[in-house]
Amino acid sequence: MNANLVSLEGKVAIVTGAGVGMGAATARLLAARGAKVVVSDINAETAAATADAIRAAGGTAHVVITNVADEAQVEALLAETVATFGRFDCAVNNAAITPDVLPIAEADMAVFDKVLNVDLRSVMLCMKYEIRQLLAQGSPGSIVNIGSVSSQRPQANNAAYVAAKHGVIGLTKTGSLEYASKGIRVNAVLPGAIDTPMLRGALDASGFTEADFAPALSLFGRFGKPEEVAEASAWLCSDAASYVTGHSLAVEGGYLTR
């Protein structure tokens, strides 16, 4: 493969939820591949840490603190991106919160609504304003939505999270249908069990370890690394994936093959 196709040199990228975990790893990788990266997160401290790491490695980063479930803030995110870098080319819509933990009959609807707002509504809002900007520029672009293997193989006691991640697939396919003629590609990445603070927190709460769970969640018998998910997103953002749209790329160690 031509290395220039995988390069993101000259592109301006937005990564939401970029303060920790997969989002931070993705922001760092996109910057390493040459993109100017807008680090978006609701947490100013973690967003600054990601941006500092990018700059320390010789990359370009700009922080925009954003509640991605708030439409005005998402609109402002795109406006500040363009004001800072002059354009927008690709995004990884990664922001999400911890899944719900109760069966449907016991569901806390406040939690249900919060999960849907952050894990689904935010993707819709980001796509809305990202696509508007690409159309205004008259330029092609790439949008990557971070879904989950739960959209293909649901887990019990996560009704809100499972519903949200199914919805992400629906938004991805709809976006690809509506805007392919404009050169805008919309794809999803479906992570499996990835070693993030969210996953470690769930393990600590349950009293289990990676050795207890990983063999059931991966054919490799280990958790994935955030950087392994970031590679998939970076490829979909790049010109190397120029003929790929409406696709859901699973990064899950073979979990879905069982």
Report the CATH number at residue 132.
3.40.50.720
Residue 10 burial by Cβ neighbours in a 10 Å radius (0-12, 13-18, 19+): exposed
Segment 182-192 mean pLDDT? 98
Label residue 233 by pLDDT band (50, 70, 90): very high
For 160-167, the CB contacts below 8 A with 24+ separation are: 160/99, 160/100, 160/107, 160/111, 160/112, 160/115, 160/116, 160/119, 161/99, 161/100, 161/115, 161/119, 163/116, 163/120, 164/115, 164/116, 164/119, 164/120, 165/119, 167/116, 167/120, 167/123
Segment 170-182 mean pLDDT? 98
What whole-number percentage of the chain has pLDDT above 70? 98
| Residue 202 maps to a domain | no
- 80: amino acid identity, one letter: E
- Structural domains of the chain, count: 1
Segment 217-241 mean pLDDT? 97
Label residue 213 by pLDDT band (50, 70, 90): confident
**pLDDT tens digits, one per residue of 15-40:** 999 999 999 999 999 999 999 999 99
Decide if 68 contacts 96 (C-beta within 8 A): no
| Residue 215 maps to a domain | no
| Residue 190 maps to a domain | yes
| Residue 200 maps to a domain | no
| Residue 9 maps to a domain | yes
Decide if 240 contacts 39 (C-beta within 8 A): no
Give the pLDDT of residue 107: 96
| Residue 219 maps to a domain | no
For residue 41, what are its two tokens? 């997160």
Residues 242 and 235: their CA atoms lie apart, in Å, by 10
| Residue 96 maps to a domain | yes
The yes-or-no verdict on residue 81 having pLDDT over 60 is yes
Residues 90 and 83: their CA atoms lie apart, in Å, by 16
| Residue 206 maps to a domain | no
Give the pLDDT of residue 3: 59
Is the torsion defined by CA of 195, 198, 204, 207 positive or negative? negative
Work out the number of other CB atoms within 10 angstroms of the CB of residue 156.
8
Comparing 33-37, 204-208, 246-250, the range with the smallest average pLDDT is 204-208
Domain assignment of residue 29, given as a range:
3-195+227-251
The yes-or-no verdict on residue 63 having pLDDT over 80 is yes
Label residue 204 by pLDDT band (50, 70, 90): confident
Give the pLDDT of residue 92: 98
Mean residue pLDDT across the chain: 95
Q: Which of 161, 179, 243, 255 is catalytic?
A: 161
Give the pLDDT of residue 2: 62
The yes-or-no verdict on residue 1 having pLDDT over 90 is no
Segment 119-133 mean pLDDT? 98
Catalytic: 161?
yes
